[in-house]
Amino acid sequence: MLKSIRWKFITIYFGLVFIAMAIIGVFIIQNFEKYHLNNVSEKLYRMATDYIFPDINNLIMTENKDLDYMSEQLQNIIDKWSQGFVNEEIFIIGDAKSGFKIIATNNNNFLGENAINELEYDLIIEGFKGKVIDKDIKFSGNQSKNMVFPISKNGEVKGVLYLRYNLQEIYNTLNQSKWILTQATMLALAITVLLGFLIARSITEPINDVTEKALEMAKGNFDQKVEVKSDDEIGKLAEMFNYLTDKLKTTLGEISSEKSKMETILNYMADGLIAVNTDGKIIHANPSAMRMLNFFDEDILKENYDDLIGRFNRNLTLEHIMQNNNEWIGSEIISIKDSIYKVNYAPYKNEKNEKGGLVLVIQDITEQEKLENMRKEFVANVSHELKTPLTSIKSYTETLLNGALENKEIAKNFLSVVYSEADRMTRLVRDLLQLSNFDSKKVFFNKTKNDLVKLINNSIMKLDMTVKNKKQRLEFITKYDSLEGYFDYDRIEQVILNIISNAIKYTEERGKVEVFLEKEDNTAIIRVKDTGIGIPKEDLSRIFERFYRVDKARSRELGGTGLGLSIAKEIIEAHNGLIKIDSEVGKGTEVTIHLPLKEDNM
């Protein structure tokens, strides 16, 4: 039953109210008890010191007798002050010579008795030692507060004033209060269960509706709509579900259209394309490929791939690739007569999501060889950035087309990967476009008054999950609660996110990243310091170049485009600021940004 969200909600509400009422009840009872016990102690103390003792002291100072011989006068004193007291018992106890005899009391049942037999022995002894003692004692089911005061003359203890207060009435009141609190708790819990049930039902019913509609979608019925009944998170979920169904229908139509387009493109593309399975059988070759390989009919499909391609380059044979290239991804240059071709190859996945063979794309680079050499570095960088997401998109799309769409969970995961890889390509294109706009001075900066402390805190919050995943420490150190200035909030946030993100990426697990914010005159100084791998000195002078990476393989693995620092430099300089990097291999890197805050500085 507890697997249901509804009962989980009710259980949580029940537990919270129960704990709250228990804490409140304990707090009230304890303070109630403490308050009344303190009142009793204060009452007994004042009764002794303000009323009884002054009369006793006057008596023993005027009479040169032991207390035993003044029992009648002492009894008169007790009778005088005990009127109106119901729960208080007053005893005057003689010294050891009289055998600790009770010589005066307002309880005639104990008059003349041995105090040791009737009262608390330890308290009497302490009283004869000259001490004032306050103690709660439980005897025969009754609890009482006991206080003793020494009766002294000339520094010698002549007897003890023993006061006892019956606490039963107080504890009866406490027990009644406990019962009232218990009833209130039970009522609150009953109301909580009822309200929890109603609230949980209002939450779970829309979720159940979404679940039922999702099951219908999993069966291939995409004409599903969920009724939107509210503007809260549940309503948003319903809206997103409806949006998803519309988007999925559109996407499926687009995929079908793209498949048709792809077939047309393959047949009429200028580059040659060959697909071969793991058995070495050529399963597809477009007209351009047949022309480049000097085949002018369908006989190429009858050829063994290794025999065919081995005439030009043994490194492209399936046998060689399978033995020497675990990823099955690469490219080779081949020459056929007077033409030079570049052959790119990569694996495709079969219906079991395993490598089903190779796809080779043959490009005629005869006329472009010289130009290619000039553009080599740029093409290498961009192609490496795009190759992985394109391959992922293609393989996941093919898998979806081969039947994975029937499984909603797999389809959703695959579409998420396609979306993520497309987003990665979008970031690269966006960065390139942004740099192009910087070069052409087409960038507009919306410089308004903003809080730099808030901006940095928001940036750190966005990276919190990444930091936790790497078990790192990310600290923001500043003496300012707020530091306002005129700058483009979104652009500066982009810079801060890029710098801190780089620090996190290139710092090992359990490392430390610190962000400092200071101010000199009208300039904010932001320092991002990490304990990462560091940057060699010979690379520092080129670190802001476009596509420049110290460790290219690692940078791509971590998802960078190689353009972030270039963009950051452009943004800071557009704010009349300065950015610099200091680093030492093995110790870490520190990025310092000087950002003017005054409006007239921009």
Tens digits of residue pLDDT in 27-69: 888 888 788 888 888 888 888 888 788 888 878 777 777 777 7
Tens digits of residue pLDDT in 466-515: 899 999 999 999 999 999 999 999 889 999 999 999 999 989 999 999 99
Residue 189 lies in a domain: no
Q: Are 316 and 334 in contact (CB under 8 A)?
A: yes
Per 3-state DSSP, the chain is made up of helix, strand and coil in percentages (nearest 5) of: 55, 20, 25
Residue 223 lies in a domain: no
* Of the residues 172, 189, 216, the one at which a domain ends: 172
* Of the residues 348, 364, 380, the one at which a domain ends: 364
- The answer to whether residues 451 and 347 belong to one domain is no
* Mean pLDDT of all residues in 129-140: 78
Element of type H or E holding 512: strand 512-520
Tens digits of residue pLDDT in 564-599: 888 889 899 989 999 999 999 989 999 999 999 987
The model's confidence at residue 374, banded by pLDDT at 50, 70 and 90, is: very low
b or e along 123-145 (b: 16 or more beta carbons within 10 Å of the residue's beta carbon)? bbbbbbeeeebeeeeeeeeeebb
In this prediction, residue 473 carries a pLDDT of 94
Degrees, nearest 5: CA angle 357-358-362: 160
Element of type H or E holding 346: strand 339-349
In this prediction, residue 454 carries a pLDDT of 96
Residue 17 lies in a domain: yes
- The answer to whether residues 46 and 167 belong to one domain is yes
First to last CA, the chain: 64
User: Could you give the residue ranges of the DSSP H alpha helices within 219-317?
Assistant: 233-268, 287-292, 305-309
In this prediction, residue 379 carries a pLDDT of 56
On the question of pLDDT at 19 being above 50, the answer is yes
Structure tokens at 184: 């209130």
pTM of the shown model: 0.36
Residue 179 lies in a domain: no
* Of the residues 172, 198, 227, the one at which a domain ends: 172
- The answer to whether residues 40 and 152 belong to one domain is yes
Total tally of structural domains belonging to the chain: 3
In this prediction, residue 375 carries a pLDDT of 44
Residue 407 lies in a domain: no
Tens digits of residue pLDDT in 304-341: 888 888 888 888 888 888 888 788 888 888 888 878 88
Segments forming the whole domain that contains residue 103: 5-172
In this prediction, residue 326 carries a pLDDT of 82
Q: Are 362 and 274 in contact (CB under 8 A)?
A: yes
Residue 512 lies in a domain: yes
What's the chain's average pLDDT? 80
CATH number at residue 43: 3.30.450.20
- The answer to whether residues 483 and 351 belong to one domain is no
In this prediction, residue 377 carries a pLDDT of 56
CATH number at residue 580: 3.30.565.10
Residue 404 lies in a domain: no
Residue 132 lies in a domain: yes
Phi first, then psi, for residue 65 (nearest 5°) are -135, 160
- The answer to whether residues 493 and 351 belong to one domain is no
E strand residue ranges, 122-211: 133-139, 142-153, 156-166
Element of type H or E holding 61: helix 53-62
